[in-house]
Structure 1
Amino acid sequence: MSCGNPHETPCSEVLDRVYWYLDGEVSEEDCDHIRQHLDECGPCLREYGLEEAVKRVVAKHCGCDPAPSELRDKILVRIRQVQAEIEVFE
């Protein structure tokens, strides 16, 4: 996804890191770049808002039960596969 406007941090890079950003797993420098990008880019901000809402709903309904590490790994692999497929079609 790209809004078509030039940014210091490209849309694709921001969207690739949105989960890590939501989880606080990016460096302070990356966090600043992502935050700046979201302030400038409506499409990415909407995508971020959607991901944030999904994360809240999952947390609310799944409580404190952590996912098994094997399941988490499989999900992350699949997410990366889908992201790669999307990039091919863009």
Structure 2
Amino acid sequence: MSSHEHGMGSEKEDCVDYIERIVYLIDNELDQADCAVVEMHLRECGPCLERYDLQRAVKQLVARSCSEHAPESLRDRVRLQLREVTVQITEGNA
């Protein structure tokens, strides 16, 4: 096994350089030449590929979660509870 597979030596330092670039790749914020460089690194580096997959999965999960809306009945219940808490606090201070 090479030192790169164990994350030792200068290869580990090289991987640090790719962490931010991986995020930019996921967000489609790299030019074509940089995409090719990062993608080549990902093909050769298992730990960075795992990080890429994890970050991509988290980003997709967050995007899916943020696009959902709470049902109106839930919103009404939350508003009611907030009003009740406000009334209790106001009455407690009187």
Match of 1:88 in 2: none
Counterpart for residue 53 of structure 1? 57
**How many Å apart are 1:12 and its aligned residue?**
1.1
Shift of 1:63: 1.4
Pair 1:32-2:21 in alignment: no
The structure with the greater share of residues assigned to helix is 2
- Higher CA-based Rg: 2
Give, as a single letter, the amino acid of the residue that structure 2 aligns with 1:19: V
Q: Name the Cα RMSD after superposition.
A: 2.4
Partner of 1:41: 45
Structure with more relative contact order (C-alpha pairs < 8 Å, separation 6 or more): 1
TM-superposition CA deviations, 1:21-62 (whole Å, max 9, x none): 101101111100000000000000001111001001001000
Aligned residue-pair number: 62
Q: d(CA) in 2 for partners of 1:6 and 1:32?
A: 21
Once the two structures are aligned, what percentage of the paired residues are identical? 36
When normalised by structure 1's length, the TM-score is 0.60
Q: Which runs of 4+ in 1 moved over 3 A?
A: none
The match for 1:14 among 2, 18, 40 is 18
Residues 3 and 41, structure 1, Cα contact 8 Å, conserved in 2: no
Please give the TM-score of this superposition, normalised by the length of structure 2. Answer: 0.58
Q: Identify unmatched segments of 5+ residues in structure 2.
A: 1-5, 69-94
Partner Cα separation in structure 1 for residue 54 and residue 21 of structure 2: 14
